[in-house]
Amino acid sequence: MNYPRMEKLLHHSIQNEILEIAALLLVKKIKADLHDEPDTYYAILADECKDLSKRELVAVCIRYLNNGTLKERAVGFVETDNMTADAISVKILEVLEPLQLDPGLCVGFGFDGASVMSGNRGGVHVILKKTFPHALYVHCNSHKLNLVLCTAAKVSPGISTFFGIINSLHNFMNGAQRHAKFLEIQKQMRPEQKTLELERSCEVRWSSWSNAVSKVLTLLGPILETLATFSESSGQTKIEADSLLHQMQTKKFLFLLVTFNQLFEVSDYATKGLQSSTLSVTDCIDLIEGLKDSYTQFRNENDAFDKVMALTDELMNKHEIVSWDISGSRKRKLPARLANTHVDSTLGKSSPVQQNSDLQKLWNDILDKQMMELNTRFKPDTYGFMSAAAACSPWSDTFGDKALIRPACVHFSIPVAEEEHTVFVQQLKRKAKANKITNEKKETLVEVLDACPRDIFPNMNSLLRALLTLPMTTCTVERLFSAVNRIKTGTRATMLTDRLNSLSLLSFERELTDSLEYQDILAVFSTKPRRLLL
């Protein structure tokens, strides 16, 4: 294309127009994927957040199957100054409008548990269900697990204090002089190992707590040495160092440090697994049930507790710690209203740890709370879709049970005939038997779909695609917001939402962006009439 010599195309309005065209072409590629195959089921993922300029943004992603691969694509976000369920619903429909989707093929909504999204009477999912009749609301499983794990910090005041110490350690080591001394001591005590940083914890992202606890356990020696060094100084630094040192040099703190490190090592697999964009119903079941089994084993067998106690005693001997707890041993006085009653609780306050049986009780309380929360938040299969997914998997004990897939067939209006189901089950059983003989391979639901051709088993194929497309998490939307925060920094605080939307989509969907042709963008740009502004 030949432009005049003075036409540099550097004005911000020209840049915004080119970015908008590129983003529209990217959305067209997603639309082509959705319409590439007939009857492509999809799910809607949405969430809201504030950008750096305090503007409320509603972001939308689409989950669908394309050529046997689960994909979650960002399709855009819009600004809103009204955070009611009606307003958010309108914004979501506005973002979805260019995709020209069939409402009957929407199988689910993936939202968080905020009341405006999940309310049973006037929540966003209730309003959108009028447009998408077959869609099922799914509370993000990653968010639910995060809430389960967060209850560990509320088991007792002593555990809340423990996590407060972890936070205070990070804040203390942030000072320039303290940080330099901390790194210097690390090099002296761990000369052949890389220096590490204490990580910042965040309540809404529990994996950060896992990293924080792990780092404190790994760097316990250098941390204690650094605190001891600054406890010999003066002023506020001395007070903070003395306080942290006093609280850390107890058996209770070391026990909780080892305990949560052990529990996080197990829960991290589920936490990371539930953040996958290709997570299916059966994968989600496996991760949660596996975590429940691990906690049950910890609770019912003494080996896990004995292992934690052995590691705690080893740390005490290594760092010459002899104190059990910083709590006083004074017996608490009962209120007058409880004078004639028998009380066996702590009256809402933490009891001092004086022997191993106190630590055993603390261990049991933590696990009991975790298991109770897991069973409460991950409730039994209300709609029957998890049972239907298991009944379609050859490795499941319920494989081939026609009654279990009936609720899903009725909900999605997929008429699976008895003959089609029988032949499908027989074929999968033969294949599963062959795999067991060769390598004992456990097939995923996606592999089951590959073994269910659409031209031979049309309805079973549709049922499997609908079950696979059900949303399990909203982590893709959270990642889109991370892209927004990387782009809209303090130096770009005045960026408008339209430009931010285009840049964020192009950055987030890098794979599709790389496939865009510059000539296509310029061709669209050149077709638009324009005149120079005087």
Question: What pLDDT is recorded for position 428?
Answer: 86
Taking each continuous run of H as one helix and of E as one strand, the counts in the chain are: 23, 5
Does the predicted TM-score (pTM) go above 0.75?
Answer: yes
The string of pLDDT tens digits covering residues 427-483 is: 888 877 766 544 455 568 888 888 889 899 999 999 999 999 999 898 899 899 889
Q: Residue-wise over 465-474: b if at least 16 C-beta within 10 A, else e?
A: bbbbbbbbbb
- Angle, nearest 10°, between helix axes 356-377 and 302-319? 130
337-381, pLDDT tens digit by residue? 766 776 555 545 556 777 888 888 889 888 998 888 888 888 777
Residue 447's pLDDT is what?
86
Domains of the chain: 26-140+474-527 (3.30.420.40), 147-330+348-377 (no CATH), 385-469 (no CATH)
Contact status, residue 220 vs residue 319, Cβ threshold 8 Å: yes
Q: How far apart are the first and last CA of the chain?
A: 24
Beta partners for residue 506, in sequence order = none
Query: Among all chains, which residue has been given the structure tokens 């088991």?
Result: 155
**CA angle 486–278–417, rounded 5-degree value:** 150
Report the pLDDT value the prediction gives residue 133, as an integer from 0 to 100: 92
Q: Pull the structure tokens for residue 162.
A: 């423990």
Residue 315's nearest CA partner among 169, 323, 366 is 323
pLDDT of residue 329: 46
Residue 289 to residue 47: CA distance in whole angstroms: 27
DSSP per-residue string spanning 469-507? HS----HHHHHHHHHHHHHS-GGGTT--HHHHHHHHHHH
pLDDT for 437: 46
356: phi then psi, degrees, rounded to nearest 5: -65, -30
Which stretches of the chain score pLDDT less than 70? 1-9, 203-206, 327-335, 338-339, 342-351, 382-383, 434-443, 530-534
